[in-house]
Structure 1
């Protein structure tokens, strides 16, 4: 038997002091929901789904309600889940009428011979398998409308991008990795994408090997940050391959973030869990929200770089 462990992140960005408490509370709630299932003998898949769904429902995070808005004022969300035992995966992208994209991703993983659905096809699949639709306006918050207007005004004025030096824009993607009592790994990532993005843009979060990956023979990983560099490096798979080659998850996490910046000037954060339950966490953004739950209790925080 293995020691069940859940590790989650709530985004890596230039988080203002005023938002730290909300992020820590959201992380604590997500840990509690996910680890409660592991304690009862639930699977790693159960745990990462539950943890991510809690963060999707919490408008603090850039996932589900509270997601960043496209440049035409809508929410478009992406999510991925992967089972390290079977290598089955399920992803959805550009969904607008699904409250919890991570639950739709699990339906794809379990109910479809396909791996990935996008747009109206993803929504149709989710509704056919019992999910209820929502209005896109249900996912839009006044805070994000203000952020969008401020970002567009800055863009028109020719001001520099403040993605990582300020807080008008950010990368607050959520994710989770876990190991269950059977020793199986799982990973899940969910996002509303980047602020002021073009409709139809898909980032790293829902792409296998980029923002999420899980394999019992190496590690499970979830990333957050600037998606385009992460995609170009297929950074999730890069990191778990380092673990398979003998690095610890912490070494792989630090090396991945260093590689991201050195190769492409990218910014982000990463969490990893290995087959022995060892953990890795690193980021090169000003702050990152994270939490760990084991039989010994919870640890959480918002770390500075």
Structure 2
């Protein structure tokens, strides 16, 4: 039976300022076009998710790939996960510094390795052995993020709050004004299979070696044809503690609609741990859900009826 393809993506949930909205909408539109274009040609959900996420990794607007937040020592360190709901094959990489597109490295792990997860130089070595070029980390660093890191560290030392750049490192981890532009996508293909992917540069001024929720199975990303596909964005530590992605898809498997499950997950995140973030959910029947408790979340949806995109605002 042929299904009607669906692609749902997010580009971060945080207190996005007005001047950043247009760039986020443009980036989301480009990612939708890349991913859905493949679905229309009969490509797999995994192909579409990889393509959509890679476009956002290449866009300096988002906290993924080039333009990511910088670690305490001024480097980009990235995590990504890709999961196939048809067979639960999964590929993940974390703490990579020399790969332009971590989601493509995750795809290599999914396709070519008996393992699920590689980190650091081991992930980079595996990617290089399977055809990916290694780059210098400085190619991923942009002046905007160098300035943001400098202001955050200066403010932290001074014990001051930095409202221009969403707060210093001392900003509480669950503050919805802290910037989180993690990117992700979920897709349904014509064969009826679903997939999910998430990619991030992590949090501003993070300790080198810190890994958040984005690349952890069941936390920031999950896909199973028997339940749903999910990608999350937000402050990773509370999401990890709740294994929130798996929590949400299990609600869909138990009969909840993706929209009800998405809102319930965000409510649970806040009620249990005071966490903030956003979520996108896609069921194997094509129903979707999205929710966030941050001031704004960038998202996009494309089906045979056309594309919708926006930066939704909470009251």
Shorter-normalised TM-score: what interval?
over 0.9
Aligned residue in 2 for 1:185: 194
Q: Return the TM-score normalized by structure 1.
A: 0.98
- Cα deviation code 1:50-93 (max 9, x no counterpart): 00000000000000000000011000000000000000100000
**In 2, Cα distance between equivalents of 1:287 and 1:134:** 33
| Unaligned residue ranges in structure 1 (runs of 5+) | none
- Cα deviation code 1:8-46 (max 9, x no counterpart): 000001101000000000000000000000000000000
Aligned residue in 2 for 1:12: 13
**In 1, Cα distance between equivalents of 2:82 and 2:309:** 23
Aligned residue in 2 for 1:151: 152
1:221 counterpart (223, 226, 230): 230
SS at match of 2:124: helix
Aligned residue in 1 for 2:41: 40
Aligned residue in 2 for 1:297: 306
| Unaligned residue ranges in structure 2 (runs of 5+) | 162-170
**In 2, Cα distance between equivalents of 1:139 and 1:36:** 27
SS at match of 1:224: strand
SS at match of 1:262: helix
1:159 Cα deviation after fit: 3.0
Aligned residue in 1 for 2:141: 140
Displaced runs of 4 or more, over 3 A: 162-166
2:280 counterpart (228, 248, 271): 271
**In 1, Cα distance between equivalents of 2:263 and 2:157:** 37
Contact residue 84 and residue 224 of structure 2 kept, 8 A? yes
- Cα deviation code 1:241-262 (max 9, x no counterpart): 0000000000000000000000
Aligned residue in 2 for 1:85: 86
**In 2, Cα distance between equivalents of 1:146 and 1:214:** 37
How big is the alpha-carbon RMSD for the aligned residues of Structure 1 and Structure 2?
0.9
SS at match of 1:216: coil
**In 2, Cα distance between equivalents of 1:12 and 1:39:** 28
**In 2, Cα distance between equivalents of 1:244 and 1:159:** 46
**In 2, Cα distance between equivalents of 1:256 and 1:165:** 16
